[in-house]
Structure 1
Amino acid sequence: MATESSNSLASLDTQISPLSIIVIGAGIGGLTVASRLSLAGHSVTVLEASSVLREVGAGLQLSPNATRLLHRWGLKTELEKVAVQPTKMSFHRFSDDGMLGLIPIELIVKSNAAPWYNIHRDDLHSLLARSVSNSVKISLGSTVTSVYHRYPSESKEAAGKPCVVLSSGAELTADLVIGADGIKSVTRRAIISEEQDARVDSAAAYRVVLPSGLLLNDPDLESLVSNPEVTQWIGPGASLVGYPIRNGKEYNIIVGLSNESEEKANDMEMLFVDWNPRVRKLLALIPAASKWQLADREPLKTWVHPKGHVVLLGDAAHPILPFGGQGAALAIEDAAVLGNLFSNIHSSSEIPKLLCIYEALRLPRCSDSQTAARMSGMTLHAPDGPMQQARDNLLRQTMQPSGETSKQVHEKILNQVQYGYDADKHVEEYLLQEN
Structure 2
Amino acid sequence: MSGKAELTINFLVVGGGIAGLSCAIALRRVGHRVVVLEQYSDSDISKMSHGGIRLPPNVSKVLFHWGLERALRQVSINSSAMQIEIYETGEFIGTHRWKEEILRETGGEFLFLHHASLRQILYDAAIAAGAEVRAGTTVVSASGHGPRVTLSTGETLLADVIVGADGRSSIVQQAILGKDVPHEAPYHFLFYNTTIPGALMRADPQLAPFLKQPDDAVIIWLGNNRSAMAFRMGAKDEFALHLWVPPTQKGLSDHDCWEGGLDLKEMRRQLGECEPRLLKMIKLAATPARVRVKMVPPLQDWVDEHGRMVIIGEAAHPLPAGSLQGGAMAVEDAAVFARLFSHLRDKDQISTFLHAFQDLREDRCASVVHTEQCNLYFQMMPAGPQQEQRDREMRAKTAQGESIFGGGEASEQWDQLKELLAYDAEDQADDWWVKWGLLRERAKQRSLDMEAEMNITRLSCLRMRA
TM-score (norm 2): 0.83
Number of positions where the alignment pairs a residue of Structure 1 with one of Structure 2: 415
Q: Distance in 1 between the 2:305 and 2:96 partners? A: 44
Verify: 1:46 aligned to 2:46, yes or no.
no
Q: Distance in 2 between the 1:126 and 1:412 partners? A: 33
Deviation for aligned residue 1:314: 0.6
Deviation for aligned residue 1:246: 2.4
Q: 1:430 to 1:401 in 2, by over 3 A?
A: farther
Deviation for aligned residue 1:214: 0.8
The answer to whether the 8 A contact 1:102-1:395 is kept is no
Verify: 1:204 aligned to 2:194, yes or no.
no
1:367 aligned residue: 366
2:206 to 210, 220, 228: 220
Deviation for aligned residue 1:280: 1.7
Instruction: Return the structure number with greater helix share.
Output: 2
Deviation for aligned residue 1:412: 4.1
Deviation for aligned residue 1:111: 3.7
Amino acid at match of 2:429: V
The answer to whether the 8 A contact 2:85-2:92 is kept is yes
Q: Deviations over 1:319-363 (max 9, x none)?
A: 101454111000000000011000110011101101111101111
Higher mean C-alpha deviation, range 406-415 or range 306-315: 406-415
Verify: 1:141 aligned to 2:129, yes or no.
no
Deviation for aligned residue 1:237: 2.0
Q: Distance in 1 between the 2:370 and 2:198 partners? A: 34
Q: Distance in 1 between the 2:16 and 2:133 partners? A: 8
Q: Deviations over 1:28-87 (max 9, x none)?
A: 110011011112111111111112174522111000000010111111111000001112
Q: Distance in 2 between the 1:200 and 1:407 partners? A: 31
The secondary structure found in structure 1 opposite 2:109 is coil
Q: 1:418 to 1:349 in 2, by over 3 A?
A: same
Amino acid at match of 2:434: L
The answer to whether the 8 A contact 1:299-1:370 is kept is no
Q: Which runs of 5+ in 1 are unaligned?
A: 1-5, 151-160
2:66 aligned residue: 73
Q: Distance in 2 between the 1:407 and 1:96 partners? A: 24
Q: Distance in 2 between the 1:197 and 1:274 partners? A: 31
**What are the within-5 Å matches in structure 2 for residues 219-368 of structure 1?**
219-227=205-213, 228-247=216-235, 249-260=237-248, 268-269=267-268, 271-272=270-271, 274-286=273-285, 288-322=287-321, 324-368=323-367
Amino acid at match of 1:142: T
Q: Distance in 1 between the 2:393 and 2:299 partners? A: 32
Q: Distance in 2 between the 1:409 and 1:237 partners? A: 18
What percentage of residue pairs aligned between the two structures are identical?
26
Q: Distance in 2 between the 1:133 and 1:78 partners? A: 15
Verify: 1:129 aligned to 2:119, yes or no.
no
2:96 aligned residue: 103
Amino acid at match of 1:213: A
2:414 aligned residue: 413
Amino acid at match of 1:173: L
The secondary structure found in structure 2 opposite 1:61 is strand
TM-score (norm 1): 0.88
Q: 1:87 to 1:416 in 2, by over 3 A?
A: closer
The secondary structure found in structure 2 opposite 1:348 is coil
The answer to whether the 8 A contact 1:103-1:398 is kept is no
Q: Distance in 1 between the 2:390 and 2:178 partners? A: 38
The answer to whether the 8 A contact 2:58-2:421 is kept is yes
The answer to whether the 8 A contact 2:5-2:341 is kept is no
The answer to whether the 8 A contact 1:23-1:44 is kept is yes
Q: Which runs of 5+ in 2 are unaligned?
A: 253-263, 440-466
Q: 1:204 to 1:26 in 2, by over 3 A?
A: same
Please give the root-mean-square deviation of Cα atoms over the aligned residues, in Å. 2.4
Q: Distance in 1 between the 2:410 and 2:378 partners? A: 16
Verify: 1:170 aligned to 2:155, yes or no.
yes
Verify: 1:192 aligned to 2:177, yes or no.
yes
The answer to whether the 8 A contact 1:103-1:413 is kept is no
